[in-house]
Chains A and B, each alone.
Chain A
Amino acid sequence: MQKYLSQQNFTTLLDKLITEGKRVVAPRLNSGTVLYEPLQSAAETVTDQLPRRSGKEAFFPLCEDIMSYRKEGQQVLLNDIDPARFPETVLVGVRPCDAAAVPVLDAVFSWDYKDEFFLERRRKTTIVGLACTTADDACFCTAVGLAPDNPKGADLFLTPLEGGGYACETYSEKGEQLIQAHRQLFDEPRNSTALPLAQPQTETVDLKKVKAWLDEHFEDPAWDSIATRCVGCGACAFVCPVCHCFDIVDEGTEKSGKRRKNWDACGFWKFTHHASGHNPRDQQPKRYRNRIMHKFKYYDDKFGQILCTGCGRCIRLCPVGIDIASIVEEISKK
Chain B
Amino acid sequence: MTHAIDTSIYSAVTDAIRGEAQRILSEGQVSAVVGYAAARRKGSAQPIVINQADDAAKLIFTPACVNNLAVYLTKAKKEIPKTGKIGIVVKGCDLKALVGLMGESQLKRENLYLIGIPCAGVLASTIQPDKELTHDSIASKCRECDVHLPTGCDFLPSQQPGTPELEKRYAAEIARLETMTPAERWKYWKEQFSKCIKCYACRQVCPFCFCEQCLCDRNKPQMVETTPRPAGNFAWHVVRAMHLAGRCAGCAECERVCPMDIPLNLLNRKMAKELKELFEHEAGLEVNEKGPLASFSEKDDQSFIK
Contact = CB atoms under 8 A, between A and B. Distances in A.
Nearest to A262: B227
Contacts of A262: 198, 226-228
Interface residues of B, number: 49
Interface string B197-232: 111110111000000000001010010011111001
Interface string B47-84: 11100000000000000000100011000111110000
Interface in B217-259: 217, 219, 222, 225-229, 232, 253, 256-257, 259
B46 interface: yes
Nearest to B219: A249
A178 interface: no
Contact of B259 (A32, A239, A260): A239
Contacts of A267: 204
Contacts of A33: 195, 260-261
A26 to B, nearest CB: 17
A224 interface: yes
A53 interface: yes
Contacts of A315: 41
A235 interface: yes
A33 B49 CA distance: 33
A321 B122 CA distance: 15
B56 to A, nearest CB: 16
A53 B232 CA distance: 19
B223 to A, nearest CB: 12
Please classify how large the interface on chain A is, using the bins under 10, 10 to 19, 20 to 34, 35 or more. 35 or more
A333 to B, nearest CB: 13
A284 interface: yes
Contact of B205 (A30, A224, A233): A233
B204 A238 contact: no
A234 B257 CA distance: 11
A30 B201 contact: no
A162 interface: no
Interface string B271-296: 00000000000000000000000000
Interface stretch (B4-12, B97-105, B124-132, B137-145): B124-132
Contacts of B305: none
Contact of B222 (A232, A237, A251): A251
B3 interface: no
A229 interface: yes
B192 A31 contact: yes
Given A31-B195, A234-B198, A229 B47 contact: yes
Interface string A214-242: 00000000001000110111110111000
Given A235-B259, A260-B229, A321-B47, 4 more contacts: A32-B261, A137-B42, A228-B79, A319-B67
29 contacts: A30-B195, A33-B260, A52-B259, A53-B197, A53-B260, A62-B228, A228-B79, A229-B72, A231-B77, A231-B201, A232-B204, A234-B201, A238-B259, A249-B226, A251-B226, A251-B227, A260-B229, A262-B227, A267-B204, A316-B127, A316-B128, A317-B259, A319-B67, A319-B201, A319-B256, A320-B46, A320-B205, A321-B47, A326-B39
Sorted nearest first, the 7 A-B pairs with minimum C-beta distance are A321-B46, A319-B257, A233-B201, A233-B204, A326-B40, A234-B199, A231-B204
